[in-house]
Amino acid sequence: MTRIKMCGVTTPEDGRDAAMLGADAIGLNFFEGSPRWVTPERASRIIESLPPFVAAIGVFVNYADPQALEDFAVSIRLDAVQLHGDETPDYCSMINRVQVIKAIHMNETFQVNSLQNYPVSAFLLDAYSPTEFGGTGRVFNWSQAAGADAFGHIILAGGLNPDNVPAAIEELHPFAVDVSSGIEAEPGKKDYASMRRFVEAVQRADAN
């Protein structure tokens, strides 16, 4: 069964809708340069609105101090941190009280063996952009990810939507898929019908 993470949630209403429709996790973006940025106060309200067994994942970019990041994550009850910047394997190893997901930007120089250096719970494979850290709505060449699952759980991201996610699942059989812009009415505001279609598309792909 392919897990589903709906990222860039900015309201308790969208968080509850994601959970009700079948998302296994939601993403809360703490990078202030993102149109999907949430304050710690708003994030706490969203987390409080979630039912049991739906995980809250915090998205961070180049947070200066890994220990301070870990303390913050624990304080607002995040289940995992998703590191979307230039964090090194050593940086990742310093976070132990919550799980770590390392985002990997899939450019033409990516080598699958590079994943073996990271002591993390999962890898999120996302499209590369020279100016953005994620949420670009762009798809990367999925064949680049062949063999990545030998080094840990793979979360596939990058331009996924209800129309292309079945092909992505068929090709890579990832542990999870991550969607943000592909289910939005506008940046930071989810579209309920698109969220429902995405979940249904994943379920159909799993059934085939």
Which residue in 14, 17, 92, 126 is the catalytic one? 126
Catalytic site residue 126?
yes
Catalytic site residue 206?
no
Which residue in 7, 17, 92, 178 is the catalytic one? 7
Write out the chain in H/E/C secondary structure: CCEEEECCCCCHHHHHHHHHHCCCEEEEECCCCCCCECCHHHHHHHHHHCCCCCEEEEEECCCCCHHHHHHHHHHCCCCEEEECCCCCHHHHHCCCCCEEEEEEEECCCCCHHHHHHCCCCEEEEEECCCCCCCCCCCCCCHHHHCCHHHHCEEEECCCCCCCCHHHHHHHHCCCEEEECHHHEEECCEECHHHHHHHHHHHHHHHHC
Which residues are known catalytic residues? 7, 126
